[in-house]
C-alpha cells in the first residue's frame, strides 16, 4: 500500500510539474510574441522615418540637378545665339561640294 501511495504521489507531482511547465511555456510564448510585435512595430517606424528622410533627400537632389541642367542649357542657348551664322558661305560650300561630286 505504501508503494502505491508513493507512486500515486509521484504521478500527481509529475502532473503538477507538467502543468507548471506548460503554463510557463505558454507565458514565455506570449511574451515572445508581444516582444516580436513591439519590435516589428518599432523597426517598421524606423524604416518609415528613414524612407521619408531619403525621399526628401532624393527630391532635393533632383531639384539641384534640374537647376544645374537648366543653367547649363540656358548657357548653351546663349552661346549658340551669339554665334554669327553665315548662310551664304555655307550655301556656297554646299554648291561647290555637290557640284564636284
Q: Quick count: other Cβ atoms within 10 Å of Cβ 31?
A: 10
Q: Can you give the pLDDT at residue 4?
A: 81
- Whole-structure pTM value: 0.54
Give the model's pLDDT for residue 69: 98
Q: Is residue 10 left, alpha or beta, with left meaning phi > 0 and alpha meaning psi from -120 to 50?
A: alpha
Cell 517598421 -> residue: 44
Burial environment of residue 35 by CB neighbours within 10 A (0 to 12, 13 to 18, 19 or more)? exposed
Q: What is the pLDDT of residue 1?
A: 63
CA 42 to chain centre: 16
End-to-end CA distance of the chain: 129
pLDDT at 43: 97
> What pLDDT, on the 0 to 100 scale, is given for residue 37?
96
Q: Percentage of residues in the chain with pLDDT exceeding 90? A: 68
Could you say which residues of the chain have pLDDT below 70? 1, 100-101
Amino acid at each position: 500500500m505504501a508503494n502505491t501511495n508513493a507512486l500515486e504521489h509521484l504521478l500527481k507531482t509529475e502532473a503538477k510539474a507538467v502543468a507548471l511547465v506548460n503554463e510557463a511555456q505558454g507565458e514565455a510564448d506570449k511574451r515572445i510574441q508581444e516582444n516580436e510585435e513591439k519590435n516589428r512595430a518599432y523597426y517598421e517606424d524606423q524604416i518609415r522615418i528613414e524612407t521619408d528622410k531619403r525621399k526628401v533627400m532624393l527630391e532635393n537632389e533632383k531639384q539641384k540637378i534640374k537647376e544645374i541642367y537648366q543653367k547649363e542649357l540656358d548657357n548653351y542657348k546663349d552661346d549658340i545665339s551669339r554665334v554669327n551664322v553665315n548662310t551664304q558661305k555655307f550655301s556656297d560650300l554646299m554648291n561647290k561640294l555637290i557640284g564636284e561630286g
